[in-house]
Amino acid sequence: MTAQQDHRRRLLMDRSVPGRVGAILPSLDVPAQELPDGQLLRSDLDLPEVTEPEVVRYFTNLSQLNFSIDTHFYPLGSCTMKYNPKINDEVASLPGFAGIHPLQPDYQVQGALEIMHHVQDYLVEITGMAASSLAPLAGAQGELCGILMIQKYHQERGDSHRLKMLIPDSAHGTNPASAAMAGYHVVSIPTDSEGNCDLKALKKEATSDLAGMMITLPSTLGLFDQHIVEVCRLIHEAGGLAYADGANMNALLGQVKMGHLGFDVMHLNLHKTFSTPHGGGGPGAGPVCVQPSLQPYLPAPVVERRSYNGKESYTLVTPEKTIGKVSASHGNFGVLVRAYTYIRTLGNVGLRQVSENAVLNANYLLTHLKDRYHLPFDRPCMHEVVLSADWQKGKGVNGLETAKRLLDYGFHAPTMYFPLTVDEALLIEPTETESKETLDLFIEAMKAIDQEATETPDLVKGAPHTTPVRRLDEARAARQPDLRWQRKAEEDANS
């Protein structure tokens, strides 16, 4: 039995049998040409030799080892694991979209450019900003672009001494990392007891060397900062610019526009809010939206609509003072098509319902769970709720174990130990596409685990019990890195 199961997970190179093929290629239909000097050619290449049936069976079996949105409730906080509509993938793979080259002249790809232009416009409308660029390939790259715009803005104004970037302590790791990549000195701003930005600390740091501040709204605590307008004002007063990390826009669609609150620049995570399947870790898209002041700095390219002899056409242009290009092409076009399809499907009315339901679902969980799990900030949350397993820790069961135990109940775990500022954090984001029945089952499971923590703590500590593998030894993986298949010595001798 184990033999068969082990067999299913055997690596491709271990399955490889000399002489097997997985594809038939066309024979050469032109006269064979002279090959170059043999010195330039490689002698061997270690790739698997397997058949097509084996490839299909191997990857199909592997896929079943995953939890996913299509199979499980996946309340991974900060990740917006919502349903990914199948129509989005279908249209993105139309030959007219999937089969065009990024370097074709504009006149050959007007349909593609038109979609990009609409997406730019929709994002501008949704964020209340003035302009956008779809170039960044993920949220983190959007952040980098945003910060580089801030940087170039200051530089062009001769304000090159502004080297400090403020970032709340609850921020996602990409924020400080992006700021650092742009060469900024990162200063952390604490969260106050209400879960808002600590205004005192902010005032202290809002000095003349301030370049700006990156604020996630709602914050990664799932809270809408009650003084956000004041925060932006303070930053501006100090001569800095306010950056909004819009990865959590799922909470705010149609409820409020970032541009109205005082932000100068922001990015969106299309793969989250606008529902591109997360693909096991990408692709994403992280468009940036800006106020007029920053428009000339947008990353290249952007799409412009032109009227010529009464005919409309679309063309790619490089913004005047662009911070440059961040990839070889124009952005993750396939993701943009999905976002376009999603926005059109839901429309103005549907987008507003997204945030309403996402926030309602999160608060429903909050209300039902706060008796059993410590709620660090006892006020209504936005689209996600941060709980703490510190009460459970008192019984000897920590947050990680609580999370792993959820896997046994058939739920993906929440985000663990993030935000870093909350002990034993469990960040739970149900999203709007989950039903009340599912939420009720999840609540039941969370309560059952709490009870297990009291009655049978070892059951929880040993979790998970029902997954394809049990708890994995991460320390060993880091201590003795084994990062790729390698031919065993004796095989080498024979080969």
Ligand X SMILES: Cc1ncc(COP(=O)(O)O)c(C=O)c1O
Binding-site ranges for its own copies (CB under 8 A): 1, 3-5, 7-8, 15, 17, 24, 51-54, 56-57, 60-61, 64, 69-72, 83, 85-86, 345, 408-411, 433-435, 437-438, 441, 444-445, 466
The partner in contact with residue 104, picked from ligand X, its own copies, another protein, none with C-beta cut-offs of 5 to 8 angstroms by kind, is another protein
Residue 459 to residue 461: CA distance in whole angstroms: 6
Select from 1, 3, 349, 489 the one that contacts another protein (CB under 8 A): 349
- In the shown chain, the binding pattern of residues 87 to 126 toward another protein, with x for contact by CB under 8 A and - for none, equals x-xxxxxxxxxxxxxxxxx--xxxxx-xx------x--xx
Select from 127, 174, 275, 361 the one that contacts ligand X (CB under 6 A): 174
Q: What are phi and psi of 117, to 5 degrees?
A: -65, -40
Interaction between residue 193 and another protein (CB under 8 A):
no
Single-letter amino acid, residue 458 = D
The answer to whether the CB of 250 falls within 8 A of the CB of 82 is yes
Shortest distance in whole angstroms from residue 201 CB to its own copies? 42
Q: What are phi and psi of 212, to 5 degrees?
A: 175, -175
Cα dihedral 110, 112, 114, 117, rounded to 10, equals -130
Query: Which CB, 72 or 393, lies closer to another protein?
Result: 72
Shortest distance in whole angstroms from residue 141 CB to ligand X? 7
* Segments in 128-255 forming alpha helices (H): 139-156, 174-181, 199-205, 228-237
Interaction between residue 216 and ligand X (CB under 6 A):
yes
Interaction between residue 220 and another protein (CB under 8 A):
no
Query: How far from 152 is each of 137, 182, 184, 217, 267, CA to CA, in Å?
Result: 20, 11, 13, 24, 17
Query: Which CB, 130 or 441, lies closer to its own copies?
Result: 441
Query: Which CB, 197 or 238, lies closer to ligand X?
Result: 197
Query: Which CB, 164 or 172, lies closer to ligand X?
Result: 172
Residue 132 to residue 121: CA distance in whole angstroms: 8
Select from 50, 129, 197, 460 the one that contacts another protein (CB under 8 A): 50
- Distance between alpha carbon 403 and the CA centroid of its chain, in Å? 21
Tell which positions 249-308 bind ligand X, by CB under 6 A: 269, 284, 286
Interaction between residue 233 and another protein (CB under 8 A):
no
Classify residue 26 by its DSSP letter. Answer: P
Interaction between residue 190 and another protein (CB under 8 A):
no
Residue 141 to residue 302: CA distance in whole angstroms: 16
E-assigned strands of 279-382?
A: 288-290, 302-308, 311-317
- Judged by CB under 6 A, the number of residues near ligand X is 15
Note the residues at the interface with ligand X (CB under 6 A). 78-79, 138-140, 172, 174, 216, 220, 245, 247-248, 269, 284, 286
